[in-house]
């Protein structure tokens, strides 16, 4: 599959999302385990839940900064 930078369909609707550039490294889930889930085939992660509170939002922002592929984005619709 060629990465296009498009939002993955499995992401929970909202502001934060993962693109198809994800390589499944798992750093996002280490930072924000309540908000990310691994795909069934283990090749990517996606946002399973938008942040519930300020702590989860900070964890998601930490995940964005830690992501080596820069595939976590924050420009989705609220």
Is residue 63 within 8 Å of 32, Cβ to Cβ?
A: yes
Q: How confident is the model at residue 4 (pLDDT cuts 50, 70, 90)?
A: confident
Q: What is the pLDDT of residues 27-54, one digit of tens each?
A: 999 999 999 999 999 999 999 999 999 9
Average pLDDT score, the chain: 94
Token pair listed for 29: 């889930």
pLDDT at position 1 is 61
As a whole number of angstroms, the distance between CA 63 and CA 58 comes to 9
pLDDT, average across residues 71-76: 90
Residue 77 has pLDDT above 70, yes or no: no
Residue 3 CA: distances (Å) to CA of 6, 35, 62: 8, 22, 23
As a whole number of angstroms, the distance between CA 57 and CA 1 comes to 30
Element (H, E) at 37: strand 36-38
pLDDT, average across residues 7-25: 96
Q: Given this structure, which CATH class describes domain 17-72?
A: alpha beta
């Amino acid at each position: 599959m060629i990465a296009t930078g498009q939002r993955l369909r499995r992401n929970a609707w909202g502001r934060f999302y993962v693109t198809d550039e994800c390589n499944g490294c798992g750093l996002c889930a280490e930072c924000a385990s309540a908000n990310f889930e691994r795909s069934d085939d283990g090749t990517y992660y996606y946002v399973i839940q938008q942040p519930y509170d300020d702590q989860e939002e900070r964890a998601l922002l930490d995940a964005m900064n830690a992501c080596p592929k820069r595939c976590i984005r924050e420009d989705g619709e609220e």
